[in-house]
Chain A
């Protein structure tokens, strides 16, 4: 064995240029993998931490919809107009959660969309509204920082938006919006459009911005329930006349176009104004109506277990609800980082294939150059496995040495980039940086996997050249010298 190693190293030193070409390729691969993975891991962890700490909690419970996946942002259906289901048996689910030792805190939520205007204003802007019970919600998301004013007071109406959203509101409503302003919210729900005017009571900011921060506004849950039509006594049916029923049921067009009927309308010089209808009683919010429960666990790692237990509980009790992790809650907002990851992985696969081809080519040339040497070795009694091992040792030696070089350079590059304190200038970079500044951290697992991957690439690349080397007939090989 030591003989083999000696021969292998001698060969590597004798063919310096080829060793260097292969080595640089492998080192580059390790650098790309380590730096790229550091960014990807940091971004994924950043998005996860941001969402768990600010919006989703560790576990998310929602109703079920046949029209698409339910996330904290509604039902992801084509067209996007599906109603988010109300959570059935809310109290029973909360009681179940309270009985689970892993659960630390829970909070209910209703999500809706509204158009925001200033009172009597003409301009409007879009608002994604999180209807919350302020006490529970603040306890659960204690990291959300109140930058100005206060959070919604329990039992009172109020709107809280992010500082980012305030900029957008001011721009789109064409007026400087400030705390204390009354914001008119128009919602479209089961009871037609509902308009409520509520005061802007506070501004929040987040440690790290995310795609969602621009949109989310917090509102007391009862205001949102009314805007959404989640009110009591809401489901009465207005009777349909027999004639209307017949018209709806008719399928044969020719039957509908029988004889002509003419009724005389009234042609009056003056039409009287409508009789005033009775004064409306304000709708009463259905205080039992929640769409989601957000859960914080004592240990975040227990999320898969808790999700599984809850889903078993829902199935056993016949409750049309589902539990998921933060990713299920974040829905469309968590997907962009996955897309970036997929693009990165595909790029790595392509780079790996190209690297294998280049290395294979270089090794084949190396083998052809060494035809005489290999032939002589074979003639002196070296068996095929000996030659095979020799090449394998050469390849692994290159992979280890240059892999370590690449690793060192990778760490250096990450350290250098972190030291530069680069600021994310656009939304995409913010996702990639998982915050406002670039700060990548290397995951030890990804270093190990990068080295293994590079080793694999090298081993795969050496298989064909070895096959070429083994085909060399000792006699003919010696003749070429």
Chain B
């Protein structure tokens, strides 16, 4: 009888302990919300350096304006000089390109890579790990000076760029440090390192240095640095075709 009582006690405490463990779902949600400024607009300057074997590294600097509540964003290219003034406007699923030389717009889709870099347009919209993926396994780990959780995520839909993502998240804050993207055949396609340099805006930490490694084409990588981060209301006119053509 005594033994049964002890066994019951142990079982109960074990389940209690388990319940007290990390809540990975809300951790993922926190990662998603990291770049979510709610009803506030967001603007920043992204500088992308892309390195390809046998070529000089190329720099692209873009100004980005985001209005997540209405699923809108504007990208203006500042550098290189030959592309200065080119821009994208995205409203829902529509993307308009603007060429300042000819003053023409072209309507297009959203899945193309930005300026031949490893960055995809989807990288600039709201991350939804918690909605688009489900957690298939978890493990503890260490990356540099940081204790981490490693989460394996499987895609729920076909609409995401990668079917399997391994996400390494800091234990002390729900901030990602590393993202490994796999194809359907479990081939590592891309590694993204979110370095621990952050811009703090509206009470959130935004990773300011991101290194993206193309695992498919060896030697191809991009470094993204984020600066001039501002959070607050932007004029409505910023999200119009007229704004793109005016910005030249």
The answer for the CA separation of A273 and B78 in the assembled complex, in Å, is 14
- Interface residue A244 (Cβ < 8 Å from any Cβ of B): yes
Shortest B174–chain A CB gap in Å is: 14
Shortest B33–chain A CB gap in Å is: 16
Q: Which of A121, A192, A231, A283 has the most CB of B within 10 A?
A: A192
Shortest B58–chain A CB gap in Å is: 7
Are B49 and A244 closer than 8 Å at their CB atoms?
yes
- Interface residue B135 (Cβ < 8 Å from any Cβ of A): no
Q: Which residues of A contact B94 (CB under 8 A)?
A: 122
Are B81 and A261 closer than 8 Å at their CB atoms?
no
Q: Which one of B99, B197, B234, B247 lies within 8 Å of A263 (CB-CB)?
A: B197
The answer for the CA separation of A248 and B222 in the assembled complex, in Å, is 7
Shortest A320–chain B CB gap in Å is: 15
- Interface residue A271 (Cβ < 8 Å from any Cβ of B): yes
Are A274 and B99 closer than 8 Å at their CB atoms?
no
Are A263 and B208 closer than 8 Å at their CB atoms?
yes
Q: Which residues of A contact B86 (CB under 8 A)?
A: 192-193
Shortest B222–chain A CB gap in Å is: 9
* Chain-B contact segment, one of A143-151, A233-241, A347-355, A425-433: A233-241
The answer for the CA separation of A150 and B22 in the assembled complex, in Å, is 73
- Interface residue A14 (Cβ < 8 Å from any Cβ of B): no
Q: Given A248-B221, A274-B247, verify A191-B230 contact (CB < 8 Å).
A: no
Which residue in chain B gives the minimum CB-CB distance to A182? B104
Are A259 and B145 closer than 8 Å at their CB atoms?
yes
Shortest A267–chain B CB gap in Å is: 5
- Interface residue A255 (Cβ < 8 Å from any Cβ of B): yes
B:54-108 near A, CB below 8 Å: 56-61, 63, 76-86, 94, 97-102, 104-108
- Interface residue B136 (Cβ < 8 Å from any Cβ of A): no
- Interface residue B10 (Cβ < 8 Å from any Cβ of A): no
Q: Which of A226, A247, A283 has the most CB of B within 10 A?
A: A247
- Interface residue B235 (Cβ < 8 Å from any Cβ of A): yes
Q: Which residues of B contact A271 (CB under 8 A)?
A: 41, 43, 230, 232-234
Shortest A256–chain B CB gap in Å is: 6
Shortest A120–chain B CB gap in Å is: 7
Shortest A252–chain B CB gap in Å is: 9
Are B201 and A265 closer than 8 Å at their CB atoms?
yes
- Interface residue B189 (Cβ < 8 Å from any Cβ of A): no
Q: Given A115-B108, A240-B57, A259-B196, verify A195-B247 contact (CB < 8 Å).
A: no
The answer for the CA separation of A243 and B199 in the assembled complex, in Å, is 17
How many chain B residues sit at the interface, stated as a range, is 35 or more
Shortest A141–chain B CB gap in Å is: 29
Q: Which residues of A contact B80 (CB under 8 A)?
A: 236, 238
A:4-18 near B, CB below 8 Å: none
Which residue in chain B gives the minimum CB-CB distance to A237? B56
Are A115 and B106 closer than 8 Å at their CB atoms?
yes
Are B196 and A277 closer than 8 Å at their CB atoms?
no
Are A244 and B225 closer than 8 Å at their CB atoms?
yes
Are B59 and A240 closer than 8 Å at their CB atoms?
yes
A:182-197 near B, CB below 8 Å: 184, 186, 191-197
Which residue in chain B gives the minimum CB-CB distance to A197? B104
- Interface residue B34 (Cβ < 8 Å from any Cβ of A): no
What 0/1 readout, one digit per residue, does chain B (16-48) give for beta carbons within 8 Å of chain A? 000000000000000000000000010100010
Are A268 and B63 closer than 8 Å at their CB atoms?
no
The answer for the CA separation of A366 and B146 in the assembled complex, in Å, is 91
A:210-248 near B, CB below 8 Å: 226, 229, 231, 233-234, 236-240, 243-245, 247-248
Q: Which residues of B contact A282 (CB under 8 A)?
A: 101-102
Q: Which residues of A contact B209 (CB under 8 A)?
A: 247
Q: Given A120-B105, A194-B99, A280-B85, verify A257-B146 contact (CB < 8 Å).
A: yes
What 0/1 readout, one digit per residue, does chain A (43-80) give for beta carbons within 8 Å of chain B? 00000000000000000000000000000000000000
Q: Given A253-B143, A257-B144, A266-B229, verify A238-B248 contact (CB < 8 Å).
A: no
Shortest A231–chain B CB gap in Å is: 8
A:256-310 near B, CB below 8 Å: 256-271, 273-274, 276-277, 279-283
Shortest A274–chain B CB gap in Å is: 6
The answer for the CA separation of A226 and B100 in the assembled complex, in Å, is 13
Q: Which residues of B contact A193 (CB under 8 A)?
A: 86, 97, 99, 106
Q: Which residues of B contact A186 (CB under 8 A)?
A: 97, 99, 106, 108
Are B102 and A195 closer than 8 Å at their CB atoms?
yes
Q: Which one of B100, B104, B107, B229 lies within 8 Å of A124 (CB-CB)?
A: B107
Q: What 6 A-B pairs come out closest when comparing CB atoms?
A: A257-B144, A265-B201, A265-B229, A195-B99, A195-B104, A238-B59
| New A-B contacts (8) at CB < 8 Å, excluding given A196-B104, A259-B196 | A238-B81, A247-B223, A253-B144, A266-B231, A273-B238, A274-B63, A276-B246, A279-B248
9 contacts between A and B (CB under 8 A): A193-B97, A229-B82, A231-B82, A236-B81, A244-B225, A262-B198, A267-B230, A273-B238, A277-B78
B interface residues (Cβ-Cβ under 8 A, vs A) = 41, 43, 47, 49, 51, 56-61, 63, 76-86, 94, 97-102, 104-108, 115, 143-146, 177-178, 193, 195-202, 205-206, 208-209, 211, 221, 223, 225, 228-235, 237-238, 243, 246-248
A interface residues (Cβ-Cβ under 8 A, vs B) = 115, 117, 119-122, 124, 184, 186, 191-197, 226, 229, 231, 233-234, 236-240, 243-245, 247-248, 250, 253-271, 273-274, 276-277, 279-283
